[in-house]
Amino acid sequence: MEKTMNKLIKTIGLAIVGLFSTILVANSVLADGHSNEVNIFSARHYDSDVQLYEKFTAKTGIKVNVVSGKSGALEKRIIAEAGTADLYITADAGRLGAFEANLQGGLTSPNIKSAVPSNFRTSKWVGIAKRARIVYFAPERVSGAELAGLTYESLADPKWKGRLVIRASNNIYNQSLVASLIKNNGKGKVADWSKGMVNNMARAPKGNDRAQILAVAAGEADIAVANTYYLALMLSGKKGAEQQAAAKKVKPFFPNQDGRGTHMNISGAGLVKGAPNKANAIKLVEFLLSEEAQNHIVNNTFEYPMIAGVSPHPLVVNMGLDFKQDLKTKVVNYGKRQADALEVMTAAGWK
């Protein structure tokens, strides 16, 4: 009888333990969806990002599922597969701003707010790296006097007629640059500026940012507008010896140093509405803003760090580190003024 009773007590005890464990697991899942994973839809095309996610998994045990592609296709998929994506990671604040209706608040943890300056974040999306859109010039054809006091606004000066190359008007980097100009100067003035830019173009816009730098190196133009990391990528040799040699023929120049500073943009992460793993998504963003992750990013993508205390890649440092950044113009304006930017460029005949 005693043996039977002990066996019964043991069985009941095991059942209680099992039930308690089941409740714990159930509560964990209910609290944050699939509690041991996070789903990223990423328009960033860097293998080094995958290596970074692997580091995050090793530290936290949280599996990172990545869907990669172009931003437009990813955005359509996020909407079509509602409740699947946790984070949308892409380049350009303008792109994040335009997609903001599909994002939710929540990126407001103390770690995020202390790491990212307020002009580079909202409650729905935050910058994880910075990039500057600057001017490149051919030193044998552009004098120091011509460059003195150069601003984005003065690129429309007739002295640059037939000497400028820049990407097409449908390029998001250009749309954000023009949106920032509208924010600072007004739509009417920027409409006139856009006409001046078109008049100054050495050829119709074509190609990516590297193509603009290559055009200056080849003598097709004297100045180009492009993001900083493109030149560093070319100088690194990762795009071949020919592009490395071409990159050495041009010099960088940071505009608007006597005013608001050089135009800054971001790569960023947005928290998607209906994210099934919201807490894990926030943890991942916090990790991306850690010193370890920031060092990994800047040394693989040649972007500028988002957080203080991390140095850019040496090739970027050599371009000039002490330039004045535009910290006045909040990047949220790039999305808000995007339609106006495209309108003035299109009206000016900017192809």
Same domain? For 226 and 340 the reply is yes
Per-residue buried b or exposed e for 73-97, using 16+ beta carbons within 10 Å of the residue's own CB: ebbeebeeeeebbbbbbbbbbbbbb
Taking the CA of residue 335 as centre, how many other CA atoms within 13 Å lie in the half-sphere pointing to its CB?
Answer: 19
Same domain? For 336 and 200 the reply is yes
Same domain? For 211 and 278 the reply is no
Same domain? For 69 and 148 the reply is no
Same domain? For 196 and 326 the reply is yes
Q: State the DSSP string of 257-284.
A: TTTT-B-EEEEEEEEBTT-TTHHHHHHH
Same domain? For 137 and 120 the reply is no
Domain of residue 118, residue span: 30-130+265-311
Contact 262, 203 (CB under 8 A): no
Domain count, the chain: 2
Residue 12 counted as domain residue: no
Residue 2 counted as domain residue: no
Same domain? For 241 and 150 the reply is yes
Same domain? For 142 and 256 the reply is yes
Residue 316 counted as domain residue: no
Same domain? For 152 and 252 the reply is yes
Same domain? For 293 and 251 the reply is no
pLDDT in tens, the chain (351 residues): 444 444 444 444 433 333 333 333 333 343 444 579 999 999 998 899 999 999 999 999 999 999 999 999 999 999 999 999 999 999 999 999 999 999 999 999 999 999 999 999 999 999 999 999 999 999 999 999 999 999 999 999 999 999 999 999 999 999 999 999 999 999 999 999 999 999 999 999 999 999 999 999 999 999 999 999 999 999 999 999 999 999 999 999 999 999 999 999 999 999 999 999 999 999 999 999 999 999 999 999 999 999 999 999 999 999 988 899 999 999 999 999 999 999 999 999 999
Same domain? For 121 and 107 the reply is yes
What crossing angle do the helices spanning 172-185 and 187-200 adopt, rounded to 10°? 130
Same domain? For 213 and 236 the reply is yes
Residue 173 counted as domain residue: yes
Residue 8 counted as domain residue: no
Residue 166 counted as domain residue: yes
Residue 23 counted as domain residue: no
How much is the pTM? 0.88
Residue 284 counted as domain residue: yes
Q: Domain of 37: which CATH number?
A: 3.40.190.10
